[in-house]
Chain A
Amino acid sequence: MKIIVPVKRVVDYNVKVRVKSDGTGVETAGVKMSMNPFDEIAVEEAVRLKEKGVATEIVAVSLGVAACQETIRTALAMGADRGILVETDVDLQPLAVAKLLKAIVAKEDPKLVILGKQAIDDDMNATGQMLAALLGWPQGTFASKVVIEGDALTVTREVDGGLETLAMTLPAIITTDLRLNEPRYASLPNIMKARKKPIETVKPADLGVDPAPRLTVVSVAEPPKRQAGQKVGSVAELVQKLRTEAKVI
């Protein structure tokens, strides 16, 4: 069984992002970029399925600028077998990514696509669902546990108030939640082996997809600065302030 794992290059989660001075987005020049953490979980899950003998091949796919190669290399170092880079300078939105992935699925014929539930840069939480709809495949989103037996896939999801378990048949889409697994660290030998694994580069046009954005970003702004709080000396003072200043009681 072949698994496709899309991996997105995003601003590293440790970086304090800054809004560009013209308000068109956040500054990415000279900023540390890494693999989207939910995608790391997706890669890890695929590698574990391969280690269990459920999967036979893992293809990591990244879509975007040439530097996304490095994100693919990270996936290869974790255990993916080969990579595909869909190279474009166009700012990709979820629908474009889903269409491009659909075209890749048509070419590669995987039984499973594991995606992160969302990317930490735009928090869209849409690509996996859109891909499932375009392919007409079942989807298990926000997975916290995945079990595969033959063609039967069981996905556990953490929902308000408990666990929900879905059963579906492969081929299917899974999107990962934080608690699905803890991604491994790449060992030095695996980093070196990853350098020798193949990465194929294709363009959106090769896949017959127009990736042009459909949504326009109107503006990006910093959240308002939080006002400093006040210290009160006594409960009586607090009650008085809540009554006269905050007017909440």
Chain B
Amino acid sequence: MDFELSAEQAQIREEVLRLCARFDETYWLERDRDGAFPEDFYAAMAEGNWLGIAMPEEYGGAGLGVTEAAIMMQAVAESGACMSGASAIHINIFGLNPVVVHGTEEQKRRMLPPLIAGRDKACFGVTEPNAGLNTTEIAVRAEKRGDRYVVNGQKIWTSTAQEATKILLLARTTPKDQVKKKTGGLTLFYTDLDRSRAEVRRIPKMGRHAVDSNMVFFEDMEIPEENRIGAEGEGFRAILHGLNPERVLIAAEAIGIGRAALARAARYARERVVFGRPIGQNQGIQHPLARNWAELEAANLMTFKAAALYDAGKECGAEANAAKYLAAEAGFHSCEQAVMTHGGMGYAKEYHVERYFRESMIPRIAPVSPQLILSYLAERVLDLPKSY
């Protein structure tokens, strides 16, 4: 067992932190205020070839593992960019894994390099208003007509769809009443987000204003057959591959936010003097912060255990889910405590922790809720009856 980052991993962390230092707290405060996509941050990450960190070398990536990708995404969040930074590039990192695993050689050559280079921006359309966490209930319909599919229906929460040129879309190709297996009948596509046939409406939301989330309404949007990833009806299986790595990345991001908040809280607790002493001299202030540290670092161990298992080609479903759950909760607790430690100032935008706090809710909710994770662990690890 080795809990140290390798020299190369440590350097990745350092360089990402150094790059992110260019985009300081004022930058993210401004993006949160004006809601503009962090274009220059996105461009800087692309320019350093960071977006392809976990993508194969043949297509312009670095061919490193989920471990390195997690180190990088954690550093992004920890720099104070939080989800505003992490979500801006999240899909580039591992989103096209289904293409890597199920795509044809021609598709990989066509689809991967532009996303790795940051020339394309993509969004991921899975969630639907009437399906919720039950992905097998997905109703957006892709109907085969000749050599193309025609898409109708509605997705919700599709992040970065305001910016995206491409969409990774899970849609139904066989009506539910005609499938043999619940998970059948769904097909995955990676295609142009044709705005003449897809209306994208921004959802006003709690935080992460720089990275939009949307309702997307499809009306006869056409997808050429060559943009289908894998076989028809195999879409559910295709996205399954990417789920565990995504949980690991989200976990790493949540820990990054938690650490950023904790650093601010500890600094404030050292400097703020009330009743003639730094507030951090009171155990009522110290202990919760110390607990936040312990929670964050414990979650971090689980996160990197899951990453190591995945990179070693081993089963990591339980660990990846547990990591996502623990990290999201620890990150949130840390942000909450950071606001409380700042007293009234915690509620002022100028002190940044209120933004962290709002953004720390996202890893709890998406891409899967804590309840569903616990249900999964109960079923898969504890062998209890399936509850969902």
A residues adjacent to B (C-beta < 8 A): 34, 69-70, 73-74, 77, 185-189, 191-192, 194-195
Set B15, B44, B47, B52: member contacting A191, Cβ < 8 A: B15
**B15 contacts A70, CB within 8 Å?**
no
Cβ 8 A contact of A70, one of B10, B12, B19, B50: B10
Asked if residues B7 and A185 are in contact (CB atoms below 8 Å), the reply is: no
Interface of A is mostly: helix
11 residue pairs bridging A and B, Cβ less than 8 Å apart:
A69-B7, A70-B11, A74-B11, A77-B15, A185-B15, A185-B19, A185-B48, A186-B48, A188-B12, A188-B49, A192-B62
Q: How far is the CA of A194 from the CA of B7 in the complex (A)?
A: 11
0/1 interface trace, chain B 8-21, chain A, CB 8 Å (1 if under)? 10111011001100
Tell whether, in the assembled complex, residue A188 and residue B10 are in contact, meaning their CB atoms are under 8 Å apart. no
* Closest Cβ–Cβ distance, residue B7 to chain A (whole Å): 6
B interface residue numbers (CB < 8 A to A): 7-8, 10-12, 14-15, 18-19, 44, 47-50, 52-53, 62, 64
Contacts of A70 in B (CB 8 A): 7, 10-11
- The distance in angstroms between the C-alpha atoms of A189 and B62, with both chains bound, is 7
Given contacts A70-B7, A187-B49, A191-B11, 12 further A-B contacts (CB under 8 A): A73-B11, A74-B14, A77-B11, A77-B15, A185-B18, A185-B48, A186-B15, A188-B48, A188-B50, A188-B52, A192-B8, A194-B11
Whether the pair B19, A188 counts as a contact (CB closer than 8 A) is no
Q: Which of chain A's residues have a CB closer than 8 A to the CB of B7? A: 69-70, 73
Structural contact, A187 and B47, CB atoms closer than 8 A? yes
A191 touching B10, Cβ below 8 Å: no
Q: Using CB atoms, name the residue of chain B closest to A69.
A: B7
Task: Specify the chain A residue showing the minimal Cβ separation from B8.
Answer: A195
B44 to chain A: which residues have CB within 8 Å?
A: 185
In the A-B complex, list the 5 residue pairs whose CB atoms are closest, starting with the nearest: A187-B48, A188-B49, A185-B19, A187-B49, A186-B15
Contact among A73, A185, A188 for B53, CB-based, below 8 A: A188
Docked Cα-Cα span, A73 to B44, in Å, equals: 22
A185 vs B64: C-alpha distance in the bound complex, in angstroms? 19
Give A142 to B12 CA distance when docked, in angstroms: 31
Q: Provide the residues of chain A in CB contact with B53, threshold 8 Å.
A: 188
